[in-house]
Amino acid sequence: MSVLRVILVTGCFVAAVAATAEARPLLMISVDGLRPGDVLDAGKRGLKIPVLRELAEDGMAASGVRNVLPTVTYPNHTTLITGVFPSRHGIANNVTFDPKRQNMDGWYWYARDIKVKTLWDAVHAHGGKVASLSWPVSVGAAGIDYNIPEYWRAHNAEDMKLVTALSTPGLVDEMQKATGLPLAKADGDSVEADTGRLRYAAALIAARHPEFTTVHLRALDHVEHETGPGSKESNAALESLDRAIGETVAAARKASPDLAVAIVSDHGFSPVEHDINLIAPFVQAGLISLDAKGKVTSWQAEPWGGASVAVVLADPKDDAVKAKVAKLLKDLAARPELGIAEVADAGAIAKMGGTPMASFWIDFKPGYTMGNDPSKPAVSPGTVKGNHGYFPTQPNMRATFILEGSSIAKKSLGEIDMRDVAPTLAKVMDVPFPGSDGKPLL
């Protein structure tokens, strides 16, 4: 063999070793509803969150993340692990479209509804172990080796039996024994449940050393809905979560010293003052029929959503119904008291990457959201104090992205596209991920 060839072969070997050495295990924690300004402007907002601030200062952080339509939890969490819009990954909303309520308000819980490969799949196929705790749309995910998914039905103790049955066999018992916490203390929307979930994550990383771990924290979002973004209750919840995140990262890095940490969120938040009755106009126009109890018996077009509202047609090819709906929406948008900011048609929806199920999409102004009671007035006081779901063009909806680790350079990213998150994390873990529409940020 020539000297040149020896040098080339040796160089390739060294490069391969170097590339492998740069790969890092990764912990991605989603703080549902975390606004980027809560971290980047924490001092101005009077927030005591030293852990999140330090992660942002020591690593790379975005000033905001342009998220996807609609700006609600399940579509955006699925974009975070696929790098594509809902029009491609198939998770169109939180709840499934169910005009006659036959699915009893079921959500998009099942991973089989995701139409593209996920980052879980990529890591698993590359030989890495994957762990996940309460991540949306994770029930039955084949790419997750250690899975306690997000799922509920009964809203009581029966849900713990359901979650245990849907989890990796034996994993719930293992985590309960390792932490001393019953599953009921690590499942739910409270700060206590989020803290328990983080303790499960630390125990799982210590025991199994996964290459990729995803954790979804739900309490901040829950409190912001109840009390509004930036309320004293919301701030207290975030400060408690900051402490729990710090404890988890420290414990996880004892087990995996080279662990990289990503802090993400799905959406921002906006205060709400008014509920808008959109069901009644559709009933009055003959597009929806209700029985005496207010249940839908038949429909031609129905609104689906909250702060922004997809309008789905029973027959999208029925031009007469489509024209009728277009006129109705134009008339509603002309009424300033209804707070409608914009009505998008199918072409505009496609550009924003929203589900092709929708023929129209209504966006409300901040402070307005759709109510669900067809018997109420056109405008009534808001039933929540804060909401999200508006078009991703609204600045208040921007999400959070922070990435920190020994191999991550300090960098201010400016505003990024949510589709860039998955390919960035794939690069940190040195995992091929060709299916994304985004680009790596490092």
Tens-place pLDDT, residues 348-400: 999 999 999 999 999 999 999 999 888 899 999 999 999 999 999 999 999 99
- Tally: H helices and E strands in the chain: 16, 18
Give the pLDDT score at 122.
98
Instruction: Name residues whose C-beta falls within 8 Å of residue 297's C-beta, 6 or more positions apart in sequence.
Output: 100, 289, 290, 291
Say whether pLDDT at 16 is over 70.
Answer: no
Half-sphere exposure of 323 (CA within 13 A, CB side): 3
d(CA 76, CA 137): 11
Tell which wins on pLDDT, 78 or 292.
Answer: 78
d(CA 166, CA 159): 10
Closest of 22, 6, 12, 31 to residue 246, by C-alpha? 31
Spell out where 137-287 has E strands: 146-148, 212-217, 260-264, 270-276
- Residue ranges of alpha helices (H) inside 90-218 are 119-125, 158-166, 171-179, 191-208
What would the pLDDT profile of 128-173 be if each residue is shown by its tens digit? Answer: 999 999 999 999 999 999 999 999 999 899 999 999 999 999 999 9
Could you say which of 3.30.450.40, 3.40.720.10, 3.90.1150.10, 3.40.50.920 is the CATH number of the domain covering 24-269+395-428? 3.40.720.10
| pTM value surpassing 0.75 | yes
Q: What radius of gyration do the chain's Cα atoms show?
A: 23
Range(s) for CATH 3.30.1360 in the chain? 271-387
Instruction: Name residues whose C-beta falls within 8 Å of residue 281's C-beta, 6 or more positions apart in sequence.
Output: 328, 332
Q: Residues 14-45, buried b or exposed e (16+ Cβ, 10 A)?
A: eeeeeeeeebbbbbbbbbbbbbbbbbbebeee
d(CA 376, CA 383): 12
CB atoms within 10 A of CB 382: 19
For 347, phi and psi rounded to 5 degrees?
Answer: -65, -45
Beta-sheet pairing, 212-217 with 130-133: parallel
CB atoms within 10 A of CB 206: 14
CATH code given to domain 271-387:
3.30.1360
Instruction: Name residues whose C-beta falls within 8 Å of residue 128's C-beta, 6 or more positions apart in sequence.
Output: 210, 211, 212, 429, 431
In angstroms, how far is CA 403 from the centroid of its own chain? 17
Give the pLDDT score at 22.
56
Say whether pLDDT at 19 is over 90.
Answer: no
d(CA 369, CA 338): 9
Q: How confident is the model at residue 72 (pLDDT cuts 50, 70, 90)?
A: very high
d(CA 258, CA 228): 37
8 A C-beta contact, residue 69 and residue 353: yes
